[in-house]
Structure 1
């Protein structure tokens, strides 16, 4: 359950491994090769055996792409990982590129040799990504070349495939039977004239069949492929050894189970059928095999994506229960931290271990929902910093400590960030924290017409920071699953989304400010989209947010004079609610500490 603090990726090995890869490229007649942070299932998390990008480059972030050419290699990361990528890779071997400002296809148009052949593993890239890259390669007179994965050929001690058993996610928590989901989505396919949909995302398949697993870190999914047919039947392709008799009975007679290796032949059998494929998430190998078999491909979003994102009443009730348990554990932890940190004896690892221990003491924790981000002082400025034994830093008086963490409970998935002062916080940090808090409150209080997207709300989180000449290089919020992925689409609060927000969607709300070499600040609550009461005289259907996260916000980090009266009122009301709902779950000194932490500003 608990995370390891060993860093398996080794930047010092980058040059030798890159040289070995280039030798393989030359032998295969290739001028380049693509190494994404991905597996054949296209989920965010991958099993250790699929951490090819980390093995090659040293970079351990959850998103990235390396383009290795004969004399140059570029690692493309987003703003969350810029500092981390530079720290974890060999600068003489890998150029670090910010994907927001330079796309891989633009780099290839300049760097790929004329007429070059760029190799790729067709099981590790979705069709839309390959189409963009293909246009860039053709602009250089080159070609894309599907090949067996070259990294696998040189990774001699590659870990084994995951083998953890799958298990049932009960209907009382799922809120709908798997048979009902299959029938409902199958009917949608039939109404569109489709015969089937190819599913490759493990969280989609687990949601559809009301099952869970432990094949990748922190996300309770079983690695699988599936074909959902228009009549509601499903073919599931996974390791049969993970499915005991009880789970097979749960699947029922209308869900067949075969080996993952049988997925390809099943695609071959779709000749003459109209099959939906998600060009944004399905590996290109799926559509290529269907085309070769004579199936008609219809590009369509995975049919599970949207219904999975729109939580039903049972899933929302589970989310509220999970956040109450999590809030109690987090409040106990914050009381412990307030007592211990000023002494200067704690390290980042000590903090992470204690927090994970207190979540486990709930008795309901299945796993943490991602490796805890615990950054003291300058480490807080690394947006997705993960402490290792090599980087472990003391938590010192005067530090600003950023802790971003979450839990996977059968009832729901949590993700919460609190930034706390260890002793007296620097005045600049308090000002930045308060500006970020103003943005977090603005989003929490938002009311908007149905049909708007996360792009429309994102500026609310940034307005106070913009007025001060500040900003942050990540989205304001991501979707969150129901005992599934802590990062779930399609909903986001981001400049780069056009997905309308719908009641039942859960999102994070996490503005921040980061000062490299000094401190990082982020405040995060999870929110559920809910219908808003239409005021008298109103004519439009409106939506709003329900705050799910229940944990105190450090008042020592706040510059009260920067808050408007309505913002202070929101904070006091939020703390009163935290005290009312979490206080009865605590005892003695924990309860007393929470009462003080939640006192009016």
Structure 2
């Protein structure tokens, strides 16, 4: 089927269902950012492959909404004869529906939308109708089967806290709230709470499923039996019952008269609808596992440090190789990404990339979440800007790092150096902050933009996201973003620090380290606790892109101290050739 055929077939199904339109999110039943092939409905329908978006199909028009990370990519992938492109924050879905579909019946799959998202569409005046089955699935003839990778125990040596202790703490939170149970729809919560991991996604070690946690700390885990081998059943223990997903309706029906917590932002609307129909009381509240999961325990923190040190050796090997390979013009975006992956595969405890590497040369670096394909792959040319954003999943931690590099052999242009340095200044400003307890990510986002704003520049994405512990590279509930919820930062949280600047058609700049929130040393006359960041990532910055005249003395001192730390911690673990390159890369700025 052509894209036009798919859209026409979907519209025919909508007529059969008695609705004028349909919402197609970029989500599966677990509402995560990453989905298996069977959940790629938005990509199948539209051709847009970004990890965030929503399509609205009406009888005579269709629109795709996405954020600033993906507008350039979407413009390249969508057929403008079929799809309008809208910026989801500047042109909200509700406004578009109000203009084009007020009073009309608009269908949705209640498994693919949280209630909170549906409520945000109510001001549009469209009549939202839950459909018993997804009409898109009816026309997707070759839809892949759902993944069936086994769930496996996550060792206590890496988890740091046994599953029973985690369940008891979460159950205590339910009792304190007067709740009898909580729905767990986020597979990350299942992974952390039950100390299990899986292989249902390429880059995030999840076993996709659902759970019910009760106030007595017993639980039901809804996974297909074939995904739970005997070893995992023994690991889960007697307090956890494993049932197939088909048992969910009966399990919710049995909660009649009970008060059940449902996270309205992270749970498919189907759950709240089914619970209300069963006679249960739905208590809107955050997933009780989400915040404890974000605050890494001491073992997880130690694992993150160890994973980053090992990852840094692979990065140093790559950067040393790239320094000599890039000026030749014989490497491409895909070959460079594959070389970095090859180095990482040699690192102990490596399991997978934490996301497909963003390897963008020249103008492709300006596509914020660019992914090189055989069709787009191009040579890395001498004397241009190259952006490599990549990460790895290790058994003891998850990494994510971005470096922007000059390919040489000539000098970098002055304007490029100036803009790179402004990005670096924002990166340093965030990394060096000390702030009072109670401050949230949205309060800090502007610190990373100040140097860019001073020059009339900005970037259209958040400054940082949470990162899991051998889990998702993008983890809530915290983020450095104006659009994020004001969740206070707390010790043990890991977030990225990644300001950038993008000039469409020419180049992209982004610099990213991961930061671990820690208590700050008390100062004289301090009246409340303060927090600060420990930098986990260890990789030198490209000194050829730094405009020294722009750096304040404190900024320059920070860069030199960081580079010296990289050399001291990583140099002894490198081979002689890489260590020699690292000594030069980490030398004082001059």
Same fold (TM over 0.5): yes
**2:121 aligned residue (121, 133, 137):** 133
Q: Tell whether 2:40 aligns with 1:51.
A: yes
Aligned to 1:13: 2
Shift in Å at residue 266 of structure 1?
0.7
State the alpha-carbon separation in 2 of the partners of residues 315 and 217 from structure 1.
22
**Residues 196 and 227, structure 1, Cα contact 8 Å, conserved in 2:** yes
Aligned to 1:483: 470
Higher mean C-alpha deviation, range 21-30 or range 512-521:
21-30
Shift in Å at residue 175 of structure 1?
1.0
Shift in Å at residue 134 of structure 1?
3.1
Q: Tell whether 2:442 aligns with 1:455.
A: yes
Aligned to 1:426: 413
The gaps in structure 2 that reach 5 residues or longer are none
Q: Tell whether 2:28 aligns with 1:39.
A: yes
State the alpha-carbon separation in 2 of the partners of residues 152 and 297 from structure 1.
29
State the alpha-carbon separation in 2 of the partners of residues 145 and 578 from structure 1.
54
User: 1:493-508 counterparts in 2 under 5 A?
Assistant: 493-497=480-484, 498-508=486-496
Shift in Å at residue 143 of structure 1?
4.5
Shift in Å at residue 87 of structure 1?
0.3
State the alpha-carbon separation in 1 of the partners of residues 414 and 139 from structure 2.
51
**Residues 108 and 128, structure 2, Cα contact 8 Å, conserved in 1:** no
Alignment deviations for residues 158-217 of structure 1 (CA, whole Å, 9 cap, x no partner): 011101111111112111100000011111101211110000000011100000001122
**Residues 115 and 143, structure 1, Cα contact 8 Å, conserved in 2:** no
The alignment's TM-score, normalised by the length of structure 2, stands at 0.98
**1:283 aligned residue (258, 262, 268):** 268
Aligned to 2:230: 245
The gaps in structure 1 that reach 5 residues or longer are 1-11
Aligned residue for 1:80, secondary structure, equals: coil
State the alpha-carbon separation in 2 of the partners of residues 324 and 16 from structure 1.
51
Please tell me the root mean square deviation across aligned C-alpha atoms, in Å: 1.0
Shift in Å at residue 137 of structure 1?
3.1
**1:356 aligned residue (341, 354, 360):** 341
- Cα 1:450–1:342 change in 2 (3 A) is same
State the alpha-carbon separation in 1 of the partners of residues 15 and 259 from structure 2.
40
State the alpha-carbon separation in 2 of the partners of residues 50 and 549 from structure 1.
33
State the alpha-carbon separation in 1 of the partners of residues 244 and 494 from structure 2.
34
State the alpha-carbon separation in 1 of the partners of residues 82 and 380 from structure 2.
33
Shift in Å at residue 145 of structure 1?
4.0
**Residues 504 and 528, structure 1, Cα contact 8 Å, conserved in 2:** yes
State the alpha-carbon separation in 1 of the partners of residues 209 and 7 from structure 2.
31
State the alpha-carbon separation in 2 of the partners of residues 456 and 125 from structure 1.
28
Aligned to 1:274: 259
User: 1:475-554 counterparts in 2 under 5 A?
Assistant: 475-497=462-484, 498-554=486-542
State the alpha-carbon separation in 2 of the partners of residues 162 and 362 from structure 1.
27
Alignment deviations for residues 303-356 of structure 1 (CA, whole Å, 9 cap, x no partner): 001000011100000000010011110110110111111100001010111011
State the alpha-carbon separation in 1 of the partners of residues 370 and 330 from structure 2.
21
Aligned residue for 2:2, secondary structure, equals: helix
State the alpha-carbon separation in 2 of the partners of residues 217 and 200 from structure 1.
20
Shift in Å at residue 260 of structure 1?
1.4
Aligned residue for 1:215, secondary structure, equals: coil
Aligned residue for 1:124, secondary structure, equals: coil
Shift in Å at residue 425 of structure 1?
2.4
Shift in Å at residue 496 of structure 1?
2.0
**1:334 aligned residue (316, 319, 323):** 319
State the alpha-carbon separation in 1 of the partners of residues 466 and 103 from structure 2.
42
Q: Tell whether 2:572 aligns with 1:584.
A: yes
Alignment deviations for residues 256-309 of structure 1 (CA, whole Å, 9 cap, x no partner): 101112122111111111100000010000000011111111001000010000
State the alpha-carbon separation in 2 of the partners of residues 13 and 31 from structure 1.
22
- State the aligned residue count: 586
Aligned residue for 1:226, secondary structure, equals: strand
Aligned to 1:111: 100
**1:94 aligned residue (59, 63, 83):** 83
Shift in Å at residue 391 of structure 1?
0.2
Alignment deviations for residues 412-463 of structure 1 (CA, whole Å, 9 cap, x no partner): 0000000000003232221111000000001110001111111111111000
Aligned to 1:7: none
User: 1:302-313 counterparts in 2 under 5 A?
Assistant: 302-313=287-298
Alignment deviations for residues 3-60 of structure 1 (CA, whole Å, 9 cap, x no partner): xxxxxxxxx9322211111111122221100100011111111000110000000000
**Residues 468 and 474, structure 2, Cα contact 8 Å, conserved in 1:** yes
Aligned to 1:445: 432
State the alpha-carbon separation in 2 of the partners of residues 491 and 349 from structure 1.
32
Alignment deviations for residues 460-496 of structure 1 (CA, whole Å, 9 cap, x no partner): 1000000000000000000000000100001111112
State the alpha-carbon separation in 2 of the partners of residues 580 and 526 from structure 1.
19
Aligned to 2:459: 472
**Residues 137 and 144, structure 1, Cα contact 8 Å, conserved in 2:** no
Aligned to 2:74: 85
Which consecutive segments of 4 or more residues in structure 1 shift more than 3 A?
none
Alignment deviations for residues 70-127 of structure 1 (CA, whole Å, 9 cap, x no partner): 1111100000000000001101111110011011011000011x53110110000000
Aligned to 1:158: 143
Q: Tell whether 2:384 aligns with 1:395.
A: no
State the alpha-carbon separation in 2 of the partners of residues 230 and 152 from structure 1.
37
